[in-house]
Copies of this chain bind each other. A is one copy, B any other.
């Protein structure tokens, strides 16, 4: 079993991972608001436990085992959020703090009961997919960017048809996972989109591109 602290590191690693599954120690340090040396030694500890691949001066990556453990914590978090909203009447903006605490409880019965009462939901109140009992995420609940409407703000969650050329194209446009994108307009005649992200205020993406990008609504 992992400590409360370890679980938080795993969760952060999972959430910060880019398309290659990499996270820098610095990002992790900032996200967790924990100083670098502490993060560094925790990474060595998690590496000992085969949860993280750690090599000096290289980016961090969760192992398969680490991904699974992280997925299970995220499962508990999202199940809890859904329970708080659906069964207890909280607003979706109120539930994160509470779920951050409940996700660390050790009680299979409790989470199974919530799951059952909710009818085995697959997404949380914010639309994020709930990992299954093995910690795996079903990505099918993400939407194609091409199906989104002007005004929406989305987070880039996955890329499909990952050919070399396509990924290079994404790199050249600085389109990386986790990116917040605002949809400014959709052209009727060819389905192309005008979007804003980073410091760019009006980038155009063809329909061919936008239907290969999966996003999470925010």
Contacts and interface: CB of A to CB of B under 8 A. Distances in A.
Contacts of A113: 88-90
Nearest to A87: B87
Contacts of A109: 90, 94, 98
Interface stretch (A99-107, A184-192, A206-214): A99-107
B110 A105 contact: no
A97 interface: yes
A106 B110 contact: no
A106 B101 contact: yes
- How many copies of this chain does one complex carry? 2
A42 interface: no
A98 B107 contact: yes
A117 interface: yes
B117 A107 contact: no
Contacts of A98: 105, 107, 109-110
Interface of A: 84, 87-90, 94, 97-98, 101-102, 105-107, 109-110, 113-114, 117
19 contacts: A84-B110, A87-B87, A88-B113, A88-B114, A88-B117, A89-B113, A90-B109, A90-B113, A94-B109, A97-B107, A98-B105, A98-B107, A98-B109, A98-B110, A101-B105, A101-B106, A101-B107, A102-B102, A102-B105
Given A87-B87, A102-B102, 9 more contacts: A84-B110, A88-B117, A90-B109, A97-B107, A98-B105, A98-B107, A98-B109, A101-B105, A101-B106
